Amino acid sequence: MDGFINLLKPPGMSSNDAVGYVRRLLPKGTRVGHGGTLDPDAAGVLPVCVGRATRLFDYIIDKRKTYVAGLRLGVETDTQDAGGRIVARHDASAVTEENIRALLPRFTGEIDQIPPAFSAIKRDGRRMYDLARKGEAVALEPRRVTVHAAEYLRRTGPESHMLRITCGKGVYIRTLCRDIGQTLGVGGHMAFLLRSEAGCFRAGDAVTLEELKAAAADGRLDALLAPMDAPLSAYPAVRLDARHEKPAANGCPIPPEWHGARFAEGDIARVYLENTFAGMAQADGENTLRFRAMLMERN
């Protein structure tokens, strides 16, 4: 059993707990992982890698993600979200929708963002959230991250607003909400978070834990698996002839005369043996491809 499950993670469950739930439904010994952590209080798309698809983690983790977030102005929390302890209150009644719309371009493109103290980032082998809970939080250095788009959707309450954020790897949406509030001079936090897209995976096509459980009981889990190459269509593809199957399966480099394409050094490509997805390869300076994630069994 190999492929991806587009899971709709519920709030109140960590990504690792969700993966554990899926693992218990699969045949014993099946490898399972997830393609990008989603905070426990957040809901939405969590790509789950099953079987040999776990070897493809590095090729799906950097894909664009889209979130719908609730911005609550006037209230600051220590975790930057609704689950934290309130540390400050301010009057945000004067902030208008136009104020927020005018500010959002400052939070798009490449920006510097300081990760929150309550995060899974490690410092000297210890998670930052463990240090923060013990009052030992340390300041983290700003990180360069990319926000592709920040869109104002609508007001949801007197001091509450809904945003849609499309971003790359490493962006903390709760920190973005906190920073928007601080820039407006009234503070703020993330009231809720829904990840609506992760790469090619969409919330509208995702399955719930209950649907997975029912499918497992009926022996239909295979039908919920997306093919291993489904989230990799952005990478170019090369196809090898059947005569190359044995050397390729044994990890031999794939020379230009086999694949017939042109690649720059460092380029990544999907490799197929005729119509069977064989894995991901990287080009060297002489246009030779070398496997970095092989899905075939060695001969």
Residues assigned a catalytic role: 39
Segment holding 151, helix H or strand E:
strand 143-157
Closest CA to 193 of 88, 60, 40: 40
Closest CA to 82 of 203, 210, 177: 177
Nearest-angstrom CA–CA distance, 260 and 287 = 10
| Token duo for residue 92 | 């945000």
Nearest-angstrom CA–CA distance, 11 and 192 = 9
Closest CA to 35 of 4, 2, 8: 4
Nearest-angstrom CA–CA distance, 7 and 195 = 11
Closest CA to 272 of 264, 263, 281: 281
In three-state secondary structure terms, 205 is helix
CB 249 within 8 A of CB 296: yes
| Token duo for residue 97 | 């929708």
